[in-house]
Amino acid sequence: MARVSFPWIRPLWQQLSEAALGGSLAHGIGIEYQPELGSEQLLEQLSRLLLCQKPVQDTKGIRACGQCKQCLLYKAGTHPDLLRIQPEPGKQLGVDAIRKVGAFAQQSAAQSGNKVVHVVHADSMTLAAANSLLKTLEEPPENTYLIVSAAQFSLLLPTVRSRLMMFPIPRPPLDTIAAWLTQLVPDATISDALVSYAQKRPLTALQLLKDGQALPQAMLDDVVFGSVQLPKDNEGIEQFVMSVIESLHLTLRDYSERNTYPTWAKAHVETNPSGFAQALSDCYQTGIVLRRELQGPGLNAQLLSQRWLHDCRRRLLLARETMAN
């Protein structure tokens, strides 16, 4: 991707790229981890720009040239002055990993330019790891940029946060999302429900449109009828759980605001509407609890998620049976 292509991120990209090109970018940067909203693409573009020897600035904005030696090394995934640190799935980010950041920061740049460090999921750091990172942030070496990414910066030590220039990922307005989807998939029918969903998960919504798939509300059909297959890796499981939680939220909202509901509930919903709404709400609330648990270390994500899905199926089937009686 030649440049950041998400319209809601462009003002932030302009701010970051101008600071980088002008030499005023802080050496400790905190960027909110929101991959659905384009944070990974933003991190990639910023890293490319910081490492590039000949950045381009024209009417289209500021970007890495894509042709210099540094850009080619980055593209090949072999740039020696780029370090990415992240925890193993289901584990905390430990002090040994963060010590690598300090050692890397003290080294001379192999390409005689900038060095860039990504610390991903920094909100999972142990206390010892956070203190180790703090030491590097307190005295950042020249031409070294530490980009700290976290979904919840409130979980970081206040002393770590105070050393970072923080950049939250903007949330796109509905009209911006609708125009973006229309531009990328011009032949698709874009409903209000899809736009509302895409406001929080634009990349998933875009893929749904391209693949001709239904909104994630349809995932509840799979939960109710027992046809769900969980991913094998923890990160995939967490994303799947988030999709089901979003499905529950959208279904409950549509039911409460528009009196629309899944096909399998149509024959029964008028009999006991509050029972169906309560079942959806209970599944949603327990899903939120599960999501928090999955972010902790040493848990069996597969087992916990299977139990939650089984409980949701029981609640929703019970609600359906109650409505049918």
pTM above 0.75? Answer: no
Question: Which tokens in the block code for residue 28?
Answer: 């400790």
Closest of 104, 60, 55 to residue 80, by C-alpha = 104
Tens-of-pLDDT digits for all 325 residues of the chain?
334 489 999 999 999 999 999 999 999 999 999 888 999 999 999 999 999 999 999 888 899 999 999 999 999 999 999 999 998 876 889 999 999 999 999 999 999 899 999 999 999 999 999 999 999 999 888 899 999 999 889 989 999 999 999 999 999 999 999 999 999 988 888 877 778 778 878 888 888 788 776 666 666 777 777 767 788 888 778 878 888 898 888 888 877 776 777 766 665 566 677 888 888 999 999 999 999 888 877 788 899 999 999 998 888 876 555 555 5
Query: Looking at the domain 10-167, which fold is it?
Result: Rossmann fold (3.40.50)
Could you give the C-alpha distances from 280 to 162, 170, 177, 238, 250, in angstroms and in order? 40, 29, 27, 19, 10
Question: Which tokens in the block code for residue 42?
Answer: 């933003």
C-alpha 37 chain-centroid distance: 7
Give the domain ranges of the chain. Answer: 10-167, 214-324
